[in-house]
């Protein structure tokens, strides 16, 4: 079956696109408003898009009220954000930070998540996140006035000491991060425990093995 995506209702497109492009990594983004009010919200439309320069992208979809979500509004005000990676042990807390609480509610307090000072930016990082990236807004893209794709340059990367294998080369103990992924229907998740290994082929090896 082929879908005429442009003819679909926006929420049906959401179902189709987010029900197929997965698993997606999960972050809780911490930001400060211009007045210094701390905000936290989960985002899964995010990824590394460059390592040189080091750039992380987050897609902030429109708020149901057809306005910018607080994360994007704050980043446009202060140009800083922290991407806190979420291990399985923080899954329930992450879900609580998504609650539709009245403005001014501190979702991190509701979720029982503590923060600690970042090194290079004003928004704090989440104390129990094993990895956090302190970012400065580099540029952004906008398809509509109520949404934004934010591109942040990573200034400082935090990794819990016990998860660092080779500090000089940036090697971390990835399996022990115990991160999980976002799946379909806005409520399914997967773990990263089910892994398999595959070495990338080279043309020389292909030739040596007489495959051509
Ligand atoms: C696992 C998960 C992933 C999410 N990913 C996104 C996302 O990538 N983009 C988005 O706009 N909203 C996403 N949301 C919804 C936002 O977290 C939600 O709209 C939140 O209230 C936004 O808060 P803010 O206005 O403080 O930024 C996600 C929610 C969950 C639970």
- CA 116 to ligand 1 centroid distance, Å: 22
CB under 8 Å to 30, separation ≥6 — which residues?
Answer: 38, 39, 40, 81, 82, 84, 108, 115, 123, 124, 125, 126
8 Å CB contact between 74 and 32: yes
CATH of segment(s) 5-208 = 2.30.110.10
Q: Residues 35-54: pLDDT tens digits? A: 999 999 999 999 999 999 99
pLDDT score for 122: 98
Please give the distance of CA 121 from its chain centroid, rounded to a whole number.
17
Q: Residues 77-127: pLDDT tens digits? A: 999 999 999 999 999 999 999 998 887 788 999 999 999 999 999 999 999
Least confident of 8-12, 132-136, 141-145, 208-212: 208-212
Residues 150-169, mean pLDDT to the nearest whole number: 98
pLDDT averaged over the chain? Answer: 96
Residues 137-152, mean pLDDT to the nearest whole number: 97
- Is 42 close to ligand 1, i.e. is its CB under 6 Å away? yes
- CA 168 to ligand 1 centroid distance, Å: 34
pTM of the model: 0.96
Residue nearest to atom 22 of ligand 1 (CA): 41
């Amino acid at each position: 079956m082929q879908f005429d995506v442009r003819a679909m209702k926006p929420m049906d497109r959401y179902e189709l696109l987010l029900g197929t492009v997965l698993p997606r990594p999960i972050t809780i983004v911490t930001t400060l408003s211009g007045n210094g009010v701390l905000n936290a919200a989960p985002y899964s439309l995010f990824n590394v898009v460059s390592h040189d320069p080091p750039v992380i992208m987050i897609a902030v979809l429109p708020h149901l009220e057809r306005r910018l979500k607080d994360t994007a509004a704050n980043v446009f005000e202060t140009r800083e954000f922290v991407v806190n990676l979420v291990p399985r042990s923080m899954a329930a807390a992450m879900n609580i930070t998504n609650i539709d609480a009245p403005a001014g509610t501190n979702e991190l307090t509701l979720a029982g998540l503590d923060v600690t000072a970042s090194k290079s930016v004003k928004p704090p990082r989440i104390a129990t996140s094993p990895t956090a990236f302190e970012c400065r807004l580099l540029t952004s893209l906008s398809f509509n006035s109520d949404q934004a794709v934010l591109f942040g340059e990573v200034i400082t990367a935090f990794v819990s000491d016990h998860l660092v294998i080779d500090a000089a080369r940036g090697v971390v103990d990835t399996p022990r991060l115990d991160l999980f992924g976002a799946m379909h229907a806005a409520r399914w998740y997967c773990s990263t425990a089910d892994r398999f290994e595959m070495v990338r082929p080279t043309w020389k090896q292909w030739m040596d093995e007489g495959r051509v």
